[in-house]
Amino acid sequence: MRPFRQSVAVLSTVVLAAAIPAAAAIPAAAQPAITAIRDHIDPAQLRARSDSFAVMIQGAPRGGQRISITPRGSSWELQDAITIGSMVQQSSRITLNSAFEEISLRQSGVVSGRPMAIALDFASGQVRGTADTPSNGPSGVLKIDTTLSAAVVDDNAVTPLLLALRWHESLDIRFPVLASGKGTVMTYRIRVLGADSSTVPAGTFDTWRDELTADKSTLLLHITRALPHRIVRMTSVGTPFDIQLVK
């Protein structure tokens, strides 16, 4: 298993960080143009909710995760808490404005026995703050002060925003993502592979089977076809991680 990346707060970030390279790269000519993920969001689908998941490793429960979305006047607060055995205990709070642009990220916890914390503020095309993560080496704290395009979204916001996408059988988008622990930008891709059914502790659901890729890592998702959309299952390709909806 690869070491965890700098940010592991959100379900997708955790398993993508552990994933091995995808089996086959998709030719560049076949890829869609890069756009902002919020261009594909249906605002009516982002609503108050809270879902709980079991984190399975090699088929056995090894932790849990809870993701919550809460309206705060004209803004949105996305909260996440995850525990994976003794490896990860972490919580995050992300604030978005009414246009789904990020205002702030606050993240803290312990990763591989070491305390970590990320505090970022977003304004006027800039992101400023600090990231203290194991991937930054012994010195720990990395100062972040960089310019971002309006299309960039923080990696910790990706999973909650998937719930508000306009899902359909031909969905295939690429969007820029800030690696919050490093202050660098990479490209994610989400595409629907087809209709499917998924059975998890919360029940059996008709779902879209989807593929989320970041760099050379791949995550398979099952997201309900019926509204409101819910993440049912996320499985890291080539690793023992399997995260399933409990309630």
Tokens of 33: 């143009």
Residues 6+ apart with CB under 8 A from 190: 162, 165, 171, 172, 173, 175, 210, 211, 212
- Residues 85, 63: Cα–Cα separation, whole Å: 6
* Other residues' Cβ atoms within 10 Å of the Cβ of residue 77: 17
Q: pLDDT tens string for the chain (247 positions)? A: 333 333 333 344 444 444 433 334 445 447 899 999 999 999 888 889 999 999 999 999 999 999 999 999 999 999 999 999 988 999 999 999 988 889 999 999 999 889 999 999 999 999 999 999 887 666 679 999 999 998 898 899 998 899 999 999 999 999 999 999 989 999 999 999 999 999 999 999 999 999 999 888 899 999 999 999 999 999 999 888 899 999 9
Predicted confidence at residue 239, as pLDDT, reads 87
Predicted confidence at residue 30, as pLDDT, reads 73
Residues 6+ apart with CB under 8 A from 125: 147, 148, 149, 150
Q: Which residue, chain included where needed, has tokens 């996408």?
A: 165
Cα 117–Cα 78–Cα 169 angle in degrees, nearest 5: 120
DSSP for residue 223? E
Query: pTM of the predicted model, to two decimals?
Result: 0.84
**Which one-letter amino acid corresponds to residue 23?**
A
Q: Is the CATH number 2.30.30 carried by domain 11-245?
A: no
Predicted confidence at residue 4, as pLDDT, reads 32
Predicted confidence at residue 28, as pLDDT, reads 47
Predicted confidence at residue 138, as pLDDT, reads 64
Question: Cβ distance 161 to 152 under 8 Å?
Answer: no
* Span between the terminal Cα atoms of the chain, in Å: 28
Residue 159 is inside which H or E element, if any? helix 158-162
Predicted confidence at residue 136, as pLDDT, reads 67
- Residues 152, 158: Cα–Cα separation, whole Å: 11
Backbone φ and ψ of 37, nearest 5°:
-60, -30
Cα 129–Cα 98–Cα 93 angle in degrees, nearest 5: 40
Predicted confidence at residue 150, as pLDDT, reads 84
* Other residues' Cβ atoms within 10 Å of the Cβ of residue 146: 12
Predicted confidence at residue 21, as pLDDT, reads 38
Question: Domain limits of the chain?
Answer: 11-245
Predicted confidence at residue 139, as pLDDT, reads 65
Q: Which residue, chain included where needed, has tokens 């979305």?
A: 69
